[in-house]
Structure 1
């Protein structure tokens, strides 16, 4: 895996990367494996701790004096809400971060999300390892209509959304991967549907979107669905989705408001292929599910879900794996969905996929600890 710093170019670096003051932020890992992830710190607290006068600075590893890539996360606001820092931390390790007066690093975007009006209202998002899309209004009722989240099997660290939509030839692999994943009338890679009377009730596709941040380390957006009446329930749905650099996973924060009842039964799903003995694995302790799909012309996709804090009931159907969960009004339900492509070279077996998900689940459930040192 390439380092977060592999595409960084430091501009206007002074001869010394010494900190502006002696203050540091210390990050500790509780895990027995190396962690590479994007850590989030409230920006105002960070800014006050270091006495920053503006938003142009560098963050350095105090021990190695190497600069770290960061992003000021706006989350749809006019001022930074959080600072996102790409860290690489050894097993049970500690990082001490200081601030330098050098100019901020210019970095290549590793995440991207956009509305795609030229392809029937798709909304697509990606990072340097995976790409996904959600279907929009223009696809509804057409011969191409499908229900869940789609996955693009990338095998490049380049961002491909703009290129692939422009060429309109992404169902063939020209060296960067392809879209061969079949969604159809399923929830694809981890989308949701309503579940009344023990039946899946698909909703209309999203109607509005809002991009909250767009790289370089994290892209976040909202998909907003128009109110619908289904089985006598007035339902409004909003999904906030984010993707971090390097991750195989997207985070989904779901909000459902039911005008008729305080609780709404839903299902989260993974498309299932036609096979008699699917290669799946469920870890109840780590709370994740992994599926390693059958090979198709040398291509294999792994899909997964992580449920950090939700009770669920598994339902096996002929076309998809489902998890029945109760959504509460005015309470966000968070889960992670993701995928891997064998030809990308990182995850090439079910064992490797399971190991990745075990570690990813621990990163969610045992976050890095952050302390402020003077």
Structure 2
């Protein structure tokens, strides 16, 4: 073998290899237009946005620090293919931060606790319950409704939203149900993690909807179908469908996707609705010992009241696109007094947020702090982070 020929061949091969174009790194730019740090706001990247065919092997790396960030893959339509890649950036005031989309193995991905969780609960009639590191909620299904209609004890007839007052970051849904069903305790008693002492009944609870016609309010019965979409470290979401219901002669068709993200006190309700141009989303007034406040310009309604040995603030928030006004409906009829936010239905859809803060949790301690949280939340949803690809 001629050594000169071998060296010559290697040089040519190296030269050819150096001209092979390298795959361009995808860089996502996240712009914060507000004069405050933004965190716990979820970015959803799709295949079409990233111009890729598959999301399953992708991760996100902070370009400045080189650190991998927590991500979550979501199969939105349930066809077995991942449709969204979620992450929550921390972006300084008035800055644009860059993140690299990289190929990564499953073992390399950060493994935080999955605090955003939801499930159907057949062992407690047919609740559907969801939670994150701040709050927990539940709604009621058709078995609970039929028990009431058949006069069987233990049922619930309500399309209102129940609040579970947790004061720990880790998941409590399975633990609380297990101890109650196995008679090892009750989720109505606080043993250090919180409790369910929030009464819903026929009220709207924390964010149930109604249609107002003249001076009367009409609403659905319990949900009829459910489907879990995702659970994980960043988001849990699920689908609910309701039987068609009557609003003073108008047939209302309703379904919704509810989601709850890490670090948030407000569940997002994306409601699909036919049969009405407006809806109202309500907050129960319980014994009417609290204070209703609202801000039409900023798009929120709040009720702050005593509960047990503590206090709780509940709220409805919507963007300027949907929020119209708010009012208080006071009646001597049990559970039917609610504060209502009036919301536009646009193209058969309405989007709003509903949630709460419990003083005993030790993070929001009075009505003023609760209203400040709502102001900040409203500012965020009306000024979303801007996401683009670097050129």
**TM-score, normalization: structure 1?**
0.86
1:146-195 CA distance string (max 9 Å, x none): 53100001100011111111111110111111111111221000110232
Distance 1:31 1:196, change over 3 A: same
Which residue number in structure 2 is paired with residue 348 of structure 1?
365
In 1, are the aligned partners of 2:296 and 2:325 still within 8 Å (CA)? no
**What displacement does 1:107 show?**
2.9
**What is the CA–CA distance in structure 2 between the aligned matches of 1:156 and 1:311, rounded to whole Å?**
32
**What is the CA–CA distance in structure 1 between the aligned matches of 2:47 and 2:361, rounded to whole Å?**
39
Distance 1:234 1:273, change over 3 A: closer
Which residue number in structure 2 is paired with residue 118 of structure 1?
123
Which residue number in structure 1 is paired with residue 338 of structure 2?
320
**What displacement does 1:311 show?**
4.5
Which residue number in structure 1 is paired with residue 91 of structure 2?
89
Distance 1:53 1:135, change over 3 A: closer
Which residue number in structure 1 is paired with residue 35 of structure 2?
32
Which residue number in structure 1 is paired with residue 11 of structure 2?
none
**What displacement does 1:327 show?**
3.6
Distance 1:325 1:287, change over 3 A: closer
In 2, are the aligned partners of 1:27 and 1:95 still within 8 Å (CA)? yes
1:312-350 CA distance string (max 9 Å, x none): 34331222112344546x521111101111122221111
- The answer to whether 1:181 aligns with 2:198 is yes
Report SS of the residue matched to 2:123: helix
**How does 1:125-204 map onto structure 2 within 5 Å?**
125-140=130-145, 141=148, 145-147=156-158, 148-168=160-180, 169-204=186-221
Report SS of the residue matched to 2:364: coil
Distance 1:350 1:20, change over 3 A: farther
**What is the CA–CA distance in structure 1 between the aligned matches of 2:343 and 2:377, rounded to whole Å?**
22
Distance 1:202 1:102, change over 3 A: closer
Report SS of the residue matched to 1:300: strand
- The answer to whether 1:213 aligns with 2:213 is no
Unaligned runs of 5+ in 1: 1-18
**How does 1:156-305 map onto structure 2 within 5 Å?**
156-168=168-180, 169-258=186-275, 263-275=276-288, 278-297=290-309, 299-305=310-316
Which residue number in structure 2 is paired with residue 335 of structure 1?
352
Query: Is 351-360 or 95-104 further displaced after alignment?
Result: 95-104
**TM-score, normalization: structure 2?**
0.82
Distance 1:295 1:149, change over 3 A: closer
**What displacement does 1:100 show?**
4.0
Distance 1:235 1:102, change over 3 A: closer
In 1, are the aligned partners of 2:323 and 2:343 still within 8 Å (CA)? yes
Unaligned runs of 5+ in 2: 1-21, 181-185, 331-336
**What displacement does 1:42 show?**
3.4
**What is the CA–CA distance in structure 1 between the aligned matches of 2:157 and 2:98, rounded to whole Å?**
48
**What is the CA–CA distance in structure 2 between the aligned matches of 1:64 and 1:340, rounded to whole Å?**
34
Distance 1:126 1:267, change over 3 A: same
**What displacement does 1:284 show?**
2.0
Number of residue pairs matched by the alignment: 347
Query: Is 132-141 or 242-251 further displaced after alignment?
Result: 132-141
**What displacement does 1:102 show?**
4.2
Query: Is 116-125 or 228-237 further displaced after alignment?
Result: 228-237
In 1, are the aligned partners of 2:75 and 2:230 still within 8 Å (CA)? yes
**What is the CA–CA distance in structure 2 between the aligned matches of 1:229 and 1:220, rounded to whole Å?**
27
In 2, are the aligned partners of 1:196 and 1:265 still within 8 Å (CA)? no
Larger radius of gyration: 2
